[in-house]
Structure 1
Amino acid sequence: MYIEVLPLPKTIGKYHGFEPFGEHAVNASWVAVQELQKLGLGHDINLHVAEVPVEYQAVQSLLPSLWTQHLPQLVVHVGVSGMATTVTLEQCGHNQGYMRPDNCSFCPKSCCCLEGGPDCIHSVIDMDAVCKRVNSSGLGVSVSVSKDAGRYLCDYTYYTSLFLGEGRSAFVHVPPLGKPYSAEQLAQALRAVILEMLELMEHNKGKNHCLHDQ
């Protein structure tokens, strides 16, 4: 899933989730994003929803066009993790270590996103701050923060998006449906998380951020 927030009088949000892969016959991220589309983010934010193939080459061709089409202020990606039991906010994306074949049995020969790129890129968003705010809101869905998105298509997508958007991106991992949250609960959590991200970005507008860890 991906969400795009644009610097227009009426803000536009674009969201994407991933297609099924491996043991995930139903990808909870895509289901949750579709529920989020029903909820909306308020009158000032239009949502655009898209499903992304679990393919390295598709990500490399799709993301640049998504970033250049509307020049978004923020892009948010959502993926499923079989190990997650909370809604997990990923703080950074990693460049190297991609050795697992995708849905087309393809794997980058270099095992990296961008040859010569920084090892790690952080989001401009303080995920710890977002986590604390949502957890204290009484939402009923636990939120946590991670610094390792898994070295598969989620991490690969996040790094690529962070690079293209100079850190103006976020990635949220959700657990499989019913383990323990329903699609509706995940959508409510995504809505709360994204609204907090937007508020933080607005508050921190104009501040400098260090995005790359060498």
Structure 2
Amino acid sequence: MTVKSTVKLKKKELSKRGLGENIDLQVMQLPVVYQKAKEQVIKIWTTLQPLLTVHVGLASSTTVIILEQCGKNKGYQDRDACGFHPEGACCVLDGPEKIESTINMKTLWKNVSVEGIDIIFSRDAGRYICDYTYYTSLYYGNGRAAFIHVPPLSNHFLQITWSRGAEQHREK
């Protein structure tokens, strides 16, 4: 339940994975605790100031990859791993009801495939830590975030999605 250290991959390794030379990829594990996850997301946006973030949530009860388009602000009644839920059951007091990603996840859904794994498009990330984290990231990152729910699988799909999401932002 603690945040693991940031893992920095060398540019040569990123290039081997098809992510390009000018990428500084950092991988972090967020805790299943509303407040700590929010603090880490805010720190990512204020300290690292990334072009975009790609959040990945494990959906152990599914066999498909789910590309989430938006985050919702309200409805967080379920308690986290420490037994708490957010004040007012929302991510950001007085924040917009929902925030859409600037990454067109529907386009990704139509253009990305992973052998042997179905991919679906969604507009509801579930009103728990995943949706809470996504909304918070969309809020502090001005929409420059993506969220992918994944079943247990390899990281190949994540590399493809991150690369294509970055390409969309470079084109703008």
TM-score between both structures, scaled by the size of structure 1:
0.69
Unaligned runs of 5+ in 2: none
What residue in structure 2 maps to residue 25 of structure 1? none
Deviation at 1:82, TM superposition (A): 3.3
Alignment partner of 1:110: what SS?
helix
What residue in structure 2 maps to residue 147 of structure 1? 123
Q: Distance in 2 between matches of 1:151 and 1:165?
A: 19
Q: How does 1:48-59 map to 2 (within 5 A)?
A: 48-59=26-37
Match of 1:118 among 93, 96, 105: 96
Q: Is the 8 A contact 1:87 1:189 kept in 2?
A: no
Which deviations, in whole Å up to 9, do the C-alpha atoms of 1:23-54 show, x marking residues without a partner? xxxxxxx9xxx8x9977433332321111111
Unaligned runs of 5+ in 1: 1-18, 21-29, 178-182, 206-214
Match of 1:188 among 143, 148, 156: 156
Please state if 1:129 is matched with 2:107.
yes
Q: How does 1:18-57 map to 2 (within 5 A)?
A: 40=17, 41-57=19-35
What residue in structure 2 maps to residue 15 of structure 1? none
Q: Distance in 1 between matches of 2:22 and 2:118?
A: 27
RMSD: 2.2
Give the structure, 1 or 2, with the largest relative contact order (CA under 8 Å, sep 6 or more). Answer: 2
Match of 2:83 among 84, 87, 105: 105
Which structure features the higher share of strand residues?
Answer: 1
Q: Distance in 1 between matches of 2:98 and 2:35?
A: 20
- Comparing 152-161 with 46-55, greater Cα deviation is found at 46-55
Alignment partner of 2:112: what SS?
helix
Deviation at 1:70, TM superposition (A): 2.2
